[in-house]
Amino acid sequence: MTELHDPTAPPPFAPLRTDRLTLRPLRAEDAADLHRLVNDWEVAKMLARVPFPYPRELADEWIASTRALIAEGRAWHLAIVGREQEKEVLLGCVGLTLQAERRQAELGYWVGRKSWGQGIGPEAAGRLARWALANLGIEKLVASALLENPRSQALLRRIGFRQLGEAAQDFLSRGGAMPVLTFEMTRADLPAEPMPAPPPPAAAEPAAEGKRIVLVSAVALIDPDGRVLLARRPEGKPLAGLWEFPGGKVHPGETPEAALIRELKEELAIDVAESCLAPFAFASHGYANFHLLMPLYLCRRWEGAVTPQEGQALAWVRPQKLADYPMPPADKPLVALLRDFL
Ligand SMILES: Nc1nc2c([nH]c(=O)n2[C@@H]2O[C@H](COP(=O)(O)OP(=O)(O)OP(=O)(O)O)[C@@H](O)[C@H]2O)c(=O)[nH]1
């Protein structure tokens, strides 16, 4: 039986990759390079929590503390590593600090002067932002940039942040408060991955207002304690990080029940008989580029142990607790119905 998943539990961390970079935990042997890169006034003067000059021992202490914070699931300060002639080189750092009570995390980054102007910052920060929204139990990311640092502001906008306002923030390197612009970003701000509708089946008719109707079958699996199974959309899918009812798109020629039986086998490795699927309610919701029609079934009997097949997190959730799990907008009315029914 799958463990009850706490949506705020720290996720395991494995290095993140982009086309050119690896973002990995800092290591003791990075200290000398880190010190060389950050003990540079042009870098340090833009950073709120970095003293200048930067003592060499501080690099060792800081690296040790970042490893503890990752283990505790409180912050992820990572090395931005590139390759030069087949050798790993430290280019800068990118970090996230969880502010769990506000369901947000703060993003920060710096890149050594030698690597400026190559898009390293947005590539690293954008990757970590995507990971954070998909894997931490948060609703948004926050960040700030010095008013006098338009390059950092542009970076934040480029990866999806929206400017909120202006504030004053203490800067260790400057010995006092400095004006900053504040930013935030939710899943809806993530660029370049709009909800893609599937390729249309040959006979698909556009809906009234020109959007195609996409039929998705979903199920509330209910265990003997009356808990409902939610699955978290994995990274790489639209709306990654949101919790949803297991299910998926109905293929051309398939019935909604057959689609669900197939999806439950593929996603959770369980066998469900059609007679155990009880129609319960449906969602009809307009997304930006398609209209979702989603029947929701109830199911209390299946064969096999529920086992995630696609690396997705699973949670058995008591009906009163469903609201603690951020879900796609289409699911909101279904959750209310389910809570009343169970
Ligand atoms: N399974 C499921 N999908 C939902 C729910 N709510 C909701 O808006 N959706 C939307 O319905 C669509 C389902 O697509 P999917 O990507 O899960 O379907 P699939 O497994 O066939 O995906 P694939 O195309 O990656 O193979 C997505 O746009 C998803 O955001 C829900 O509670 N469960």
Q: Which protein residue's CA is at the shortest distance from atom 15 of ligand 1?
A: 248
**Of 216, 291, 312, 338, which is best to mutate to test ligand 1, by the most ligand atoms within 8 angstroms of its C-beta?**
216
pTM of the model: 0.73
Q: Is 203 a residue whose pLDDT tops 50?
A: no
Domain positions in the chain:
16-189, 213-341
Q: Are strands 87-99 and 104-111 parallel, antiparallel or unpaired?
A: antiparallel
Within 10 A of 89 (CB to CB), how many other CB atoms are there?
A: 14
* CATH class as words, domain 213-341: alpha beta
> By the 8 A CB rule, do 300 and 222 touch?
yes
* CATH class as words, domain 16-189: alpha beta
- For the chain, the distance separating the N- and C-terminal CA atoms, rounded to the nearest angstrom, is 21
Query: pLDDT (tens digit, 9 = 90+) per residue, 175-202?
Result: 999 999 999 999 988 876 544 455 555 4
- What ranges make up the beta strands (E) of 222-321? 228-232, 243-244, 247-249, 278-286, 291-299, 314-317
Q: What is the pLDDT of residue 195?
A: 45
Residues lining ligand 1, CB < 6 A? 195, 198, 216, 218, 237-239, 244-245, 247-249, 292, 328, 330-331
**pLDDT-wise least confident of 136-140, 223-227, 243-247, 248-252:** 136-140
Query: pLDDT (tens digit, 9 = 90+) per residue, 88-110?
Result: 999 999 999 999 999 999 999 99
**Fold match between 16-189 and 213-341?**
no
> By the 8 A CB rule, do 297 and 278 touch?
yes
